[in-house]
Structure 1
């Protein structure tokens, strides 16, 4: 199949979260399965700095901008990558969505309207590239208007829309809707209007042929008021077109080949994991204590990731015989609170502000347990990394965490809690500490975790099936 994959970020060109990991991995996995995939994303400043030899192949008139379409490839792959080069919109500091002070760019509506217009134009080969996709695969709100722009056209490709996180919806005012050129009748609750706002994400949910999210449990959760972010009624209405597919992980998260580790290891050489623990303790100034369980946390410091829950549990947690390492950045009040706690417990708790890819790998390899107390988690990737590294996840049983981490039965590979309370988290931790003291049982759990196949090969097959279903008549 010919597939145009539209996204606002893709690793390793630009990354703020899991969307980038999917957009950098799934096109590559689909290409390996024989499909002709083109990746489309904006030419942000950091993208142009990393993209191999971009060359202009077309000029697109999109709204009030003339945009150069550059062709490059995704680093480390043969995936053709099309970059929208418009310095007025994309050549900026900060990340794709925020300035250097973490404030949303005031023209984000126009910036991602341009991305959607380009996706729709390329989907029907109006750029004259002699390449027309059979499938347009859009991802999250930043590309949600593209299926709406193509609605009703006989020459359009099939459309799949993937929701990576429903909490981010792309809401703008009515005046922005008027600038899009979309039909006036789309300003209705049945189309793009959402409680008086113009909703980009509804464009994908309403107008794509099929919709998926990044785990089966999250696909069920977002049809409920608790997790549906006001869109649960629409998602229930489209439930026959909605499913969940778990994300995969790339081979650069592999303890057997990881260049960032003090000692590489695999399930046949699991004792070598202890050397990574010792090296991490030394690197971060923790007490050299091989028998103390070491807990890790890597992620955004945000309410979604369970930071309030974790902060409430930390005073009691740090009375246990353990060590804790946290790596992340986000909301300032969380950063300040964690810094204060770290000063009080220098031998047992270390907080590293920011994101360091190499350190993230060393934490995954050196930790014994990995904390993911997320209030909601569409899929989650760190629990998959942890499983591959033999670092047992301790998770809140929601979304993709519920689909991948199990405490009971033959699939047992970690620890879970159901109620989002400090008491439930601490009870799960105490169960984990009890198992940690049983060396043989702990080793069996590690081996079960490392045996899980979380590769993109499996996930790509499921996406392929969705594409085939669309082409077979779901349109």
Structure 2
């Protein structure tokens, strides 16, 4: 009998997207369903999620809790893959304009602990009681928003005396931990003894992420290298000891990309389509992108692109520090993203200082991101750390060679254009070791050198576009992980 899986997450493409988490939640369950698994989603009822569900219908009224006067469970399907999905309508908690996690002042909502406690508790309720004739045998939580789900499973099992449903918790980024003051712990409705070192307590606060790591049956991260890195003090964010303790339950499964949505041969966001064997369209995409962004339309000027959240993690201070040398070598730079105000301001100032050479678009624009990958020659991903990264996977698919730091999923997916890798036709981009300006600048110079050798550039670009990081492999790997909990 197929395993019945409930994926629990805060966002899902195309209903709601603030980052790569939504892409994963939008694609992984669908790939598992295609392999025969009985898979559904549970999402918070943010307005865009509720409005986007197809054939939405109310299922049940849930007990008021966590400050919500009314909680209603809806059922529908996602608009792209027709994935069955539940959404929790709790207007007092979820019906807010703007970002789902923070206000217009860029500060997280004070009641985020209650907003996402409801998500975890509702998931446990579905596992324990079922709904409308369906009951999951395994819950799969994603990132800190779903971190309390296995804790509620454990607490309910202890109270009822019945075994808890199995649980898997995927860490998409260990740096985002869902930390809250200890005095708010009583609002969660969890046992008092769960607030302990062997539990949710984390340096005097409580952590949703730690709850997921401690109470889940299995832990996954989004790349093999990141699974190893987070067991070290450098990348463990204070949780490396717990992760080493749970090392036998921890694995890294590399993310994939939706190869139908991200396909330059059929992408409707591109002005001209192309593929690995017929790349003439990419040159036209570049020229039209330069024109759209107000850059000088120069065919032989290497176009470097950044498509990213603008945070310190992403190493964008290296892009800023290396911008003048990059321009001096004849390159152009374009950026799409939003995030920390200081980084936004620095890139805006750079664009103002170099009109026609630097273009900056602040915000989120899905169609423009496709055109950037379609037109760029190089995509810059100089992250301090990167659990998996989807940007470099999109870049590979579109023949925009990734320039990355050797860390996490970047190390697992990009092969450096070294002499030996060029010789055996395995090179797909540019990789540097240390998050230092000299290392980054040297990688940029190597990109210019290769660009000025058309035959070698074409070889690497073709190899990059032939890389395949679809969801079939990750979906089967997760199903295999689930089976370890049934043996």
What is the alpha-carbon distance in structure 2 between the residues aligned to residue 149 and residue 336 of structure 1? 43
* Aligned twin of 1:11: 13
Where in structure 1 are there 5+ consecutive unaligned residues?
A: none
Q: What is the CA RMSD across the aligned residues, in angstroms?
A: 1.2
What is the alpha-carbon distance in structure 2 between the residues aligned to residue 337 and residue 317 of structure 1? 16
What is the alpha-carbon distance in structure 2 between the residues aligned to residue 309 and residue 276 of structure 1? 27
Is structure 2 residue 160 aligned with structure 1 residue 151?
no
What is the deviation of 1:247? 0.7
* Aligned twin of 2:178: 170
What is the deviation of 1:181? 2.3
* Aligned twin of 1:130: 133
Give 4+ residue runs of structure 1 displaced > 3 Å after superposition.
none
What is the deviation of 1:315? 2.3
TM-score, scaled relative to structure 2: 0.95
What is the alpha-carbon distance in structure 2 between the residues aligned to residue 345 and residue 243 of structure 1? 45
8 Å contact 2:381–2:402 — kept in the other structure?
Answer: yes
1:452-471 equivalent positions in 2, closer than 5 A: 452-471=467-486
* Aligned twin of 1:284: 293
Secondary structure at the aligned position of 2:132 is classed as: coil
What is the alpha-carbon distance in structure 1 between the residues aligned to residue 183 and residue 78 of structure 2? 36
8 Å contact 2:402–2:430 — kept in the other structure?
Answer: yes
What is the deviation of 1:316? 2.1
What is the alpha-carbon distance in structure 2 between the residues aligned to residue 288 and residue 313 of structure 1? 22
Out of 47, 51, 61, the position equivalent to 1:45 is: 47
Out of 226, 230, 234, the position equivalent to 1:226 is: 234
What is the alpha-carbon distance in structure 1 between the residues aligned to residue 49 and residue 105 of structure 2? 20
What is the alpha-carbon distance in structure 2 between the residues aligned to residue 197 and residue 174 of structure 1? 5
Out of 179, 195, 201, the position equivalent to 2:203 is: 195
1:276-326 CA-to-partner distances (Å, cap 9, x unmatched) read: 001101111111111111111111111011122222222222211111111
1:54-73 equivalent positions in 2, closer than 5 A: 54-63=56-65, 64-65=67-68, 66-73=70-77
Secondary structure at the aligned position of 1:430 is classed as: helix
Secondary structure at the aligned position of 1:159 is classed as: strand
What is the deviation of 1:101? 2.7
What is the alpha-carbon distance in structure 1 between the residues aligned to residue 247 and residue 296 of structure 2? 52
1:309-359 CA-to-partner distances (Å, cap 9, x unmatched) read: 222222222211111111111111111111111111112111111121111
Is structure 2 residue 269 aligned with structure 1 residue 267?
no
Out of 375, 381, 386, the position equivalent to 1:377 is: 386
Out of 466, 481, 486, the position equivalent to 1:451 is: 466
1:209-233 CA-to-partner distances (Å, cap 9, x unmatched) read: 1101001111111111111110000
What is the alpha-carbon distance in structure 2 between the residues aligned to residue 357 and residue 130 of structure 1? 37
Number of paired residues?
Answer: 471
1:26-63 CA-to-partner distances (Å, cap 9, x unmatched) read: 11111111111110001101212322231101111152
Q: Which moved more, 1:13-22 or 1:303-312?
A: 303-312
* Aligned twin of 1:94: 98
TM-score, scaled relative to structure 1: 0.97
8 Å contact 1:263–1:273 — kept in the other structure?
Answer: yes
1:74-112 CA-to-partner distances (Å, cap 9, x unmatched) read: 111121010000111101011221112322111101000
Out of 78, 84, 88, the position equivalent to 2:82 is: 78
